[in-house]
Amino acid sequence: MFRRSFRRFCAGEEKRVGTRTVFLGNHQDSTTTTETYIAPRFCDNRIVSSKYTLWNFLPKNLFEQFRRIANFYFLIIFLVQVTVDTPTSPVTSGLPLFFVITVTAIKQGYEDWLRHRADNEVNKSTVYIIENAKRVKKESEKIKVGDIVEVQADETFPCDLILLSSCTSDGICYVTSASLDGESNCKTHYAVRDTIAVCSEECVDTLRAIIECEQPQPDLYKFVGRINIYNNSTEAVASCVHFLFRSLGPENLLLKGATLKNTKKIYGVAVYTGMETKMALNYQGKSQKRSAVEKSINAFLIVYLLILLTKATICTALKYLWQSTPHNDEPWYNQKTQKERDTWKVLKIFTDFLSFMVLFNFIIPVSMYVTVEMQKFLGSFFISWDKDFFDEEINEGALVNTSDLNEELGQVDYVFTDKTGTLTENCMEFIECCIDGHKYKGIIQETDGLSQTDGPLTYFDKADKNREELFLRALCLCHTVEIKTNDAVDGATESADLTYVCSSPDEIALVKGAQKYGFTFLGIQNGHMRLENQRKEIEEYELLHTLNFDSVRRRMSVIVKTPTGDILLFCKGADSAVFPRVQKDEIASTKIHVDQNAMDGYRTLCIAFKEIAPDEYERIDKQLIEAKMALQDREEKMDKVFDDIETNMNLIGATAVEDRLQDQAAETIEALHAAGLKVWVLTGDKMETAKSTCYACRLFQTSTELLELTTRTIEESASKEGRLCELLNEYQKKLNEYPKSSRSLKKTWTEHQEFGLIIDGSTLSLILNSAQDTVSNNYKSIFLQICMKCTAVLCCRMAPLQKAQIVKMVKNLKGSPITLSIGDGANDVSMILESHVGIGVKGKEGRQAARNSDYSVPKFKHLKKLLLAHGHLYYMRIAHLVQYFFYKNLCFILPQFLYQFFCGFSQQPLYDAAYLTMYNICFTSLPILAYSLLEQHINIDTLTSDPRLYMKISGNAMLQLGPFIYWTFLAAFEGTVFFFGTYFLFQTSSLEENAKVFGNWTFGTIVFTVLVFTVTLKLALDTRYWTWINHFVIWGSLAFYVFFSFFWGGIIWPFLKQQRMYFVFAHMLTSVSTWLAIVLLIFISLFPEILLIVLRNVNHGSARSPNIELPTLLSYKYIDSGHS
């Protein structure tokens, strides 16, 4: 009966897609058995953040790792070695691959084990469920949708709950959601008024209701639902069943992960559980961002793969050319078997090609990926540990959410920043107001006349007394501010001790501004807003409806009933949102003050009101309730109703609030400009306010000529598009008049700060969304050309989506510039996600931006060190790491290639299998890892004090073709020296005193010894910042190689008697010629580097240039890209 009645009241709703029906306490109608009812299936309350299980870890992890090209390549090489008769053992490629796969698997397995442990702690935690009017203890994972859960003070909500009641008489509870969005301030949540009295186990169990709500979605700040409460006051007859319908919104939803504060106990019904909670849905990661270094690595891999294929092809061709002579093909000491003679020649050629591929495969550095991952992961801790990023006010430092982009911080070309809360403090102070065009500033001393101020008396023309009080009442009533007190407010005597709490600092500033003038907001009790007027009298206004603020409407309103029964609407919002909705003749006098305040850099809001007749209110109330009850398109329907209500208002006045510039914001922007970065400010504020802030933070200089593309400049003409076209062409012509510099455009920015561009949201829409696509593309092209030639760009009146459009447009420019976005609010999330690097500021508008960013910092000023010091060093380190890996592997494999010319292309290995295996894993891995973590080729203080150094590495300078070719030729030179130096040494008939001749493995060991010492000492020459760790790993690696060679040769471990390497290393070192040869070959190999060091020091010593030059690593030739 209960369910049939509900279906009759909500006909056609039960089959609607996108909603779910929840029975409170899982009490369903049991009086009717004639109809079949299939209960909906919801997921349980288990949280699963882990990626693997015990059963799927191995196959799933291996599949993911072999999706990486280098790992898959080495797997193929290993399989070839196993199946084909190749010159080297499968161990030589199998063991390094196994090492890489194992290390990665252990790292990922450990991380997943930590996630499993954290999940179990949550899933096995104790909760209390109300069942059969009793309090039942259960594990959290046993909660089902519809269960009524009891939560006590300081406990975390185990799932997403609809608040039914609390221990307070008004059904209010206080919640902190720091674990969700980082906001530490208490938020207020409300129970619907019909369930407030349900505050015991017995009452809760007897409550019968049905909740309809949207299906789970990840937005933490949106929720649409309604509760249908069964009224059992009449006889249980089908025709007499009554429902009370109430709307549910985000203010009624308690999110899993949030904590109950300052409230002893609440009851709530579970609507989303487990992986359907909003917290779990937010686990889903952001789209993967790839750095420019990763793209360079892939390009280098392709080049080295081509080198590998070329080597294998040359050796295969020359082998068969050499074997074309009969005595070379089948010498008397190595006769072919009949099977070898009968083998198909094409198959033999292919097999030989694969064998050469296996022989030379170590040119591809498989261990580089592991080293790069470890460098990024470990290197990210330096940002978190940096004490300069610690902010005492919030007691937090910087946070790294994505370590994959560390080096991208050193490659930024464009910085997009929000204004409020990012460049400014977002700490509002009420400055002044105007009422009916009359200016009021200061604090009143007497109730008679607001214009009298403290200090030197300043008198202005006064508005009517009733209008003054109406304006101040509007400030006290039109807001969402709440009172945070331990005791209930009772009387005016406690007004001085009130603490105001709100998510918007603007609203607190306005309420405090009204308090300065004698009107004090005392809070809300039983749905009535209480305030104290100038005569110390308490006034109560019934709060009928709140029309909440949103970034599209840019205004908010309240509808209240006065003590005399009149119904008033108070509205506050941006001038662009309020002026079109008030009487035209009221605008002029207020607009003068609004414009002046904006030019002074203040944030302005306009205040309006209107009286609502009782019959009109009945219609409005019905429309609002209907819109709030909608489960589909609720926001659109409510916006339409709001739009209809907020019309034909009367303008009362405007307020001016100051948002102070953040400490060192101007110095930071100056440094970014000096570093060659373009800074764009994207804000929703009005143009005058934003422009004033831009001058204050030195984005615009006094010499900067501003080009405007705003509604004001375009609406001067009848045809907007025609005027826009004229302005675009005019600005383009003006910018083209300046002679082009042959040097880099980036350098020109720092020398000529000539032009700045200002554009607003409506003009941007006109550019991007013209009627004709061809016209739009033309506008867009000219607009981008103008932007690229301007030093700074200010985009005002921007919607969040438009911010992302701007970033995307710049990202797609020719040359693919690297973009960085920084902001502090939810409206900045879209541009943070769109840019290559997203920085969140831990501001006062919540932590949505910080949660969605790649890095988060407490203040805008920290961006300077993050980019100029950390970014510079991260890029330099990883670029050197990548180049060094390819260099040392080419040094390693080139002698093997040259050796084939002297062994008849027989695929004879030059090095022992142990050396092949250990070269990248043990002998040369730790020094470059330590270098890539600790190197500071320039002091951090120097990097931050001279931003011009940032330009030296911009444009991926250290991974361009020039440095890559230099490294490649250096490796080719050294590899040739290794081989032919040893070869000429072996021209002597005997190298031992007893006239014995060294053999093949001694030859290879000498080459390998010179190789290991040379590539390690090369890194020592490149190291500018020595620590004990560098000393330990560099000299320790060399010592370990010597130790291992003695061990492998059976000296230290006699039981290990390798047939071909037994005593080889020890016998080799008994020859004085060998010692001399090794030392001489190392010196010859490193001589070009040593010579460059000497010449550079001589030049620096004689020049004594006042300009700070980047002490470029010797491995990188200077590229004249205009950055000199």
Q: Report how far Cα 16 is from the mean position of its chain's Cα atoms.
A: 37
Neighbours of 875 (CB within 10 A): 26
Q: What are the residues whose beta carbons fall under 8 Å from the beta carbon of 374, sequence distance 6 or more?
A: 929
Beta strands 678-682 and 555-561, pairing class: unpaired
Exposed / middle / buried, residue 135 (Cβ in 10 Å: 0-12, 13-18, 19+):
exposed
Q: What is the Cα–Cα distance from 1040 to 756, expressed in whole angstroms?
A: 60
Quote the strand ranges of 153-207, DSSP E.
Answer: 160-166, 172-177, 183-190
Residue keyed to tokens 């030049």: 1099
Q: What are the residues whose beta carbons fall under 8 Å from the beta carbon of 19, sequence distance 6 or more?
A: 13, 212, 213, 214, 215, 631, 632
Length of the chain: 1124
Quote the strand ranges of 167-288, DSSP E.
Answer: 172-177, 183-190, 209-214, 225-231, 242-248, 253-254, 259-261, 265-272
Cβ–Cβ under 8 Å, residues 1123 and 748:
no
Torsion-angle region of 418 (φ positive above 0: left; ψ -120 to 50: alpha; else: beta): beta
Q: Which two tokens stand for residue 57?
A: 């870890």
**Residue 418 falls in the annotated catalytic set:** yes
Helices (H), 857-871: 862-865
Helices (H), 753-903: 761-768, 773-789, 800-811, 829-834, 848-851, 862-865, 872-899
Exposed / middle / buried, residue 1046 (Cβ in 10 Å: 0-12, 13-18, 19+):
middle
> Of 176, 171, 168, 281, nearest to 222 (Cα)?
281
- From the list 205, 352, 404, 418, the catalytic residue is 418
Cβ–Cβ under 8 Å, residues 791 and 678:
yes
Quote the Cα angle for 250-252-258, to 5°: 80
Q: What is the Cα–Cα distance from 71 to 59, expressed in whole angstroms?
A: 15
Angle subtended by helix axes 925-934 and 872-899, to nearest 10: 160
Q: What is the Cα–Cα distance from 125 to 140, expressed in whole angstroms?
A: 5
Cβ–Cβ under 8 Å, residues 395 and 178:
no
Residues 648, 649, 650, 651: is their CA dihedral positive or negative? negative
Q: Amino acid identity of 416?
A: F
Q: What is the Cα–Cα distance from 791 to 911, expressed in whole angstroms?
A: 58
Q: What are the residues whose beta carbons fall under 8 Å from the beta carbon of 630, sequence distance 6 or more?
A: 224, 637
Question: Exposed e or buried b for every residue in 256-281, given b needs 16+ CB within 10 A?
Answer: bbbbbebbebbbbbbbbbbbbbbbbe
Exposed / middle / buried, residue 955 (Cβ in 10 Å: 0-12, 13-18, 19+):
buried
Angle subtended by helix axes 872-899 and 368-379, to nearest 10: 160
Q: Which two tokens stand for residue 779?
A: 């506008």
Q: Which two tokens stand for residue 951?
A: 């330009």
Q: Which two tokens stand for residue 3?
A: 């369910």
Neighbours of 1043 (CB within 10 A): 13
Exposed / middle / buried, residue 948 (Cβ in 10 Å: 0-12, 13-18, 19+):
middle
Q: Which two tokens stand for residue 140?
A: 């959290």
Instruction: Enumerate the active-site residues.
Output: 418
